[in-house]
Amino acid sequence: MRLASFAAGAVGRDDAGRRVLIGTVIAVVPVAVVGLALENTIKEHLFGVGPVIAAWVVGGVLLLVLSRTGWWEKERAGRVLERITPRDALVIGVVQILALWPGTSRSLVTILAALFVGLGVSAAVEFSFLVGLVTLGAATVVDAAKHGGAIVHTFGWVNPVVGFVVAFIAAVAAIRWMVEYLQHHSLAIFGWYRLAVAALAGVLLATGVL
């Protein structure tokens, strides 16, 4: 439905769809530029257990702090997605750069950024999904251009396509669930989850398992 609105907006038949489409493109540009510029640096210095654990801890603490201060409840109500502005999208896009740090939840930072600029929970979650769809889709295209031959040689055409379709369906189902959940709950449970996983990884690292 939203994707259909995207398509209609692209050809000038849906003003709201065009506004959301423009916002999505604006939000993708910052992370695309920085990601391409720092790709090798990120892979060389940040792809390790330590940086990932640090990201889990920071994200978990942030979620718990926001939940304890009541910020989440105050920001639960907000504008619908059709009222997103280019400035809103740019802020969300700049914040999304943080997700280039391995272990940082892209969904988390974009949802929080969307709430910060005044979007409601449903709009924030949906926009996070749309930005992720375009961002990860573009990254997949770039990766396929570089390594597509090796992927097809190893897995064939069918398995990657089936994997993409299943992943898309699962993402849509997860978004529907998250919108409903966050209408009545805070993000605290996700904060505790990140801290628990970080603690487990820390123990495994200390004992030489990782």
User: Distance from first CA to last CA of the chain, Å, rounded?
Assistant: 44
Quote the pLDDT of residue 143.
Answer: 65
pTM attached to this predicted model: 0.79
- Cα 116 to the chain's mean position, in Å? 15
CA 60-46-67 angle, to 5 degrees, is 10
Q: Of the candidates 190, 166, 150, which has an alpha carbon nearest to the alpha carbon of residue 63?
A: 190
Model confidence pLDDT, tens digit, residues 103-120: 888 888 998 899 889 888
Quote the pLDDT of residue 152.
Answer: 64
CA 168-173-178 angle, to 5 degrees, is 120
Which region among 4-8, 54-58, 96-100 has the lowest average model confidence (pLDDT)? Answer: 4-8
Model confidence pLDDT, tens digit, residues 23-39: 999 999 998 899 888 87
Instruction: Name the residue ranges covered by the structural domains of the chain.
Output: 2-206
DSSP states of 71-115: HHHHHSS-B-GGG--HHHHHHHHHHHGGGGSTT--HHHHHHHHHH
DSSP 1: -
pLDDT of 94 over the 80 cut? yes
Cα-based distances in Å from 165 to 38, 58, 125, 150, 190: 30, 32, 20, 20, 26
Q: Are 188 and 64 in contact (CB under 8 A)?
A: yes
- How many other CB atoms sit within 10 Å of the CB of residue 149? 10
Q: Higher confidence at residue 184 or residue 98? A: 98
Strand, helix or coil for residue 31:
helix
How many Å apart are CA 157 and CA 159, to the nearest integer?
6
How many Å apart are CA 82 and CA 168, to the nearest integer?
23
DSSP 56: H
